[in-house]
């Protein structure tokens, strides 16, 4: 099995939406026109790369990476990673590890001083990230914004 990690292309959008459905099964599917508009916004965003793990022509996993310019650490940026998911049928086969190694390389090539992500409160997920060389170094906080709230 050959795993090729590459930047996502517009043609990968249906596969990405399917993966995100596995990641968040309670979410309603994004309508096609909305997905196209979001993809257009993502594609034009400087410093944003959605990586996909391609296994023999099948998109088996993804990681959304954003380089955030930074005024500390000598002006070195931070790479944030979000929406990491590997299709259930490809888990425990090295796909996730290849994605995370590629994310770290992406951060290195962008001059980042660290790669940062938040992980679900799940022991398997924490073990996976630790095996990829990540350390639990901070406690994360989040506050969800209700849909339809004032902007």
Q: Tell me the β-bridge partners of 25.
A: none
Could you tell me which residues are beta bridge partners of residue 85?
62
Q: Count other C-beta atoms under 10 Å from residue 90's C-beta.
A: 19
CA distance 53 to 120: 21
φ, ψ for residue 127, nearest 5 deg: -65, -40
Q: What is the dihedral of CA 15, 20, 22, 28, to 10 degrees?
A: -110
CA dihedral 25, 93, 138, 116 (to 10 degrees): -90
Instruction: Say how many C-beta atoms besides its own lie within 10 A of residue 42's C-beta.
Output: 16
DSSP H helices in the chain:
13-23, 32-44, 95-109, 123-131
Structure tokens at 6: 């590459």
Domains of the chain are 3-131 (3.40.630.30)
Question: Which pLDDT score, from 0 to 100, does residue 150 have?
Answer: 67
Q: For 71, phi and psi rounded to 5 degrees?
A: -95, 0
Digitized pLDDT (tens) for each residue of the chain, 151 residues in all: 899 999 999 999 999 999 999 999 999 999 999 999 999 999 999 999 999 999 999 999 999 999 999 999 999 999 999 999 999 999 999 999 999 999 999 999 999 999 999 988 889 999 999 999 999 988 888 898 898 766 5
Burial level of 139, CB count in 10 A (0-12/13-18/19+)? exposed
Model pLDDT, residue 128: 94
């Amino acid at each position: 099995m050959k795993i090729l990690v590459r930047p996502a292309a517009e043609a990968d959008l249906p596969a990405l939406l399917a993966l995100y459905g596995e990641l968040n099964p309670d979410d309603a599917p994004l309508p096609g026109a909305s997905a196209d508009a979001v993809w257009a916004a993502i594609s034009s965003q400087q410093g944003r790369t959605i990586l996909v793990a391609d296994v023999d022509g099948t998109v088996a996993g993804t990681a959304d990476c954003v380089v955030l310019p930074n005024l500390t650490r000598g002006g070195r940026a931070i790479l944030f990673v979000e929406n990491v998911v590997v299709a259930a049928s490809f888990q425990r086969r090295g796909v996730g590890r290849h994605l995370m190694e590629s994310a770290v390389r992406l951060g290195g090539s962008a001059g980042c001083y660290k790669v940062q992500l938040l992980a679900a409160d799940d022991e398997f997920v924490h073990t996976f990230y630790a095996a990829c060389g990540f350390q639990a170094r901070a406690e994360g906080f989040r506050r969800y914004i209700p849909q339809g709230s004032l902007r």
